[in-house]
Every structure is written in structure tokens, then in C-alpha cells.
Amino acid sequence: MDVNQSTGTQSQAEALALRYGIGAEPAHGPWNDVIATLLSHRSVRGFLPDALPEGTLTTLVAAAQSASTSSNLQTWSVVAVTDPAKKAALAKIANNQKHIEQCPLFLVWLADVSRNTRLGVEEGVTLETMPHFESFLVAAIDAALAAQNATVAAESLGLSMVYIGALRNNPVEVGRLLELPPGAMGVFGMCVGYPLPTVTNEVKPRLPQSAILFHDRYDAAGEPAARAAYDERIAAFSRRHEMTQDTWTKRVIGRMGKIAAMSGRDKLVSILNGMGFPLR
């Protein structure tokens, strides 16, 4: 099995082996092409400059708008960025991730309560729930569900993508660049395009299901063994990609162990307060 050749058409056995590692696959269940596409996902961080086929953006957005949305409030928006100068500025915010400039389409997904705030103003009604943390959470969840639908649509069309959470390094500057109103925040970006043939393209294994799937009650008893096995798989994955040969455990500690790893995002609450999200 060639780990770089995962496609939406491979067999269930191959797809599960790539996602979990040989020997760690869950039991087989129902299967179809949609599920095969989902299991073949991998982030891509190098893009050809080739333009996307006409109508791709509106198709991706239609897929995004087909996601469930809390109470049909539709508290999200998306800004499609193609202007090279804006992409360069956004890349700078995101620790100079080069793929933001490379990709033909960069989408900035917004948690956006501003439209419904405007509705309240136009109707002369105070929307009392707006300042509450719950309204921001609803908007951020809506944006994530929409974006993931766009991801699945893009990958089903043979496109590749990677999310860019690093936009949250500086939400105020993202807001300034994209002229966002108060109550709209770029929660993450997304590069979309055709992958460079030179980028490695392997499905990244996930934790075994025993670590994340519980029945009727939470049970972390098997976690140490599951984590040890997964550490080996991620270290091997890293070796194959000439990345630092860290285990998953080391990576979690590296990402979550020190405030410095947040690249300024530890100040998000006060930043959001200034962007029209009081978060009461």
C-alpha cells in the first residue's frame, strides 16, 4: 500500500489502515464513496498556482451553507481572498505560512453576529443575547461546520486544503485588512488549490478509537496503552516525512505546555471584547 496514494476510491481496509495504522483499525462497517473521501483527507501545505475551475467558489460556499446552523441563525460569513497583497499580509500574521500566498484561493471563515446585530438595529429591537459568550460560541461552531462542509466538497473535487488557525495570532489586523465590522472575527483561514506534486501527501494517523469513543460513560482506563501505541505511529509518520521525530505526546506538550506557543492568542478574550464580542 502506497501511503502517498490515498484517494477517495480506495478500499475500506486500505483507508482504515492508513487512518489508524495497520493493526489498529476499527471493525468494518457501512462504506461508500463519501466516507472514502472523508477518510482520505490530509492537509496540504504546498499549492500549484493553477486557477480553480469556474464556479468552484460558489459550489464550495453552497456546500458550506448546507451545513446545519444553530437555530438557522447563520452566524457565519466567509471572505474569499485572491488579492496577492492581502494574502501576503495574512501570511505574515500567520507566522509566514507560505501556502497562504501560493494557493489560488484563500478563504477566511468568520464567526459573524454582525448581520443579526444589524437586523436588530434595523428592526429597532435589542437582541439581548448578543453580548453573551453563547452567541460567540454559536457563531464559531457555525463557521467551523460550514468550513468543514466546504473542505469535504473541495476534496471530493480533487482539490486540497489546509486550515489556518494562525490567523488568530492577530484577529484585529485580520479585521482591518478585510474591513470586518464589529461582531465579525476571522476564526480561521483555509488554503484551497491543487497540491504541488512535490509535497508529501500521506494520511496522518489518528488516535485509536478506544481513546476517543466511549459507550454510555467516559472511560479513560485504556488511554495509556492507546497513547503509547499512537506515539509510535506518529513518530514513524514524522520519520517518513523528515520532520522532527517527535511522538504525539511530545507534540501535545510542545503545543500546549507553554503560553509562548499560543503566538499571542492567550489574549483572545480581551481582543474579542474589543471586536464587538463582550463574551458575558
In this structure, are residues 189 and 116 in contact, taking their beta carbons and an 8 Å threshold? Answer: no
Residue 164 touches ligand FMN, criterion: CB under 6 A: yes
Tell the residue number behind the cell numbers 461546520, with chain if given. Answer: 145
CB of 128 to ligand FMN, least distance (A): 30
Closest among 248, 243, 271, 126 to 185, alpha carbons compared: 271
> Which residues between 103 and 162 bind ligand FMN (CB under 6 A)?
162
Query: What's the DSSP call for residue 267?
Result: G
Cβ distance to ligand FMN smaller for residue 111 or 130? 111
**Secondary structure (3-state) at 259:** helix
CB of 90 to ligand FMN, least distance (A): 11
Strand order from edge to edge, sheet including 105-112: 76-81, 105-112, 184-193, 160-164
Residue 165 touches ligand FMN, criterion: CB under 6 A: yes
Cβ distance to ligand FMN smaller for residue 18 or 113? 18
* Residue 274 CB coordination number (10 Å): 12
**Interface with ligand FMN (CB under 6 A), residue from 152, 166, 174, 192:** 166
Cβ distance to ligand FMN smaller for residue 175 or 205? 205
CB of 242 to ligand FMN, least distance (A): 16
> Which residues between 24 and 43 bind ligand FMN (CB under 6 A)?
41-43
Task: Convert residues 240-279 into a mask of x (bound to ligand FMN by CB under 6 A) and - (unbound).
Answer: ----------------------------------------
Cβ distance to ligand FMN smaller for residue 43 or 129? 43
Residue 47 touches ligand FMN, criterion: CB under 6 A: no
Cβ distance to ligand FMN smaller for residue 202 or 223? 202
Task: Say how many residues touch ligand FMN, by CB under 6 A.
Answer: 13
Cβ distance to ligand FMN smaller for residue 130 or 185? 185
Cβ distance to ligand FMN smaller for residue 36 or 162? 162
In this structure, are residues 187 and 168 in contact, taking their beta carbons and an 8 Å threshold? Answer: yes
**Interface with ligand FMN (CB under 6 A), residue from 47, 136, 188, 230:** 188
**Interface with ligand FMN (CB under 6 A), residue from 14, 36, 39, 45:** 45
Strand partners, 189: 108, 164
- Note the helical H segments in the chain: 12-20, 33-39, 56-65, 84-93, 98-102, 114-123, 133-156, 171-178, 209-212, 223-240, 248-256, 268-273
What Cα–Cα distance (Å) separates residue 160 from each residue in 19, 46, 47, 102, 264? Answer: 17, 9, 8, 13, 28
In this structure, are residues 194 and 160 in contact, taking their beta carbons and an 8 Å threshold? Answer: yes
* Residue 126 CB coordination number (10 Å): 9
CB of 113 to ligand FMN, least distance (A): 19
Distance (Å, rounded) from C-alpha 78 to C-alpha 192? Answer: 13
Binding site for ligand FMN (CB under 6 A): 41-43, 45, 94, 97, 162-166, 188, 204
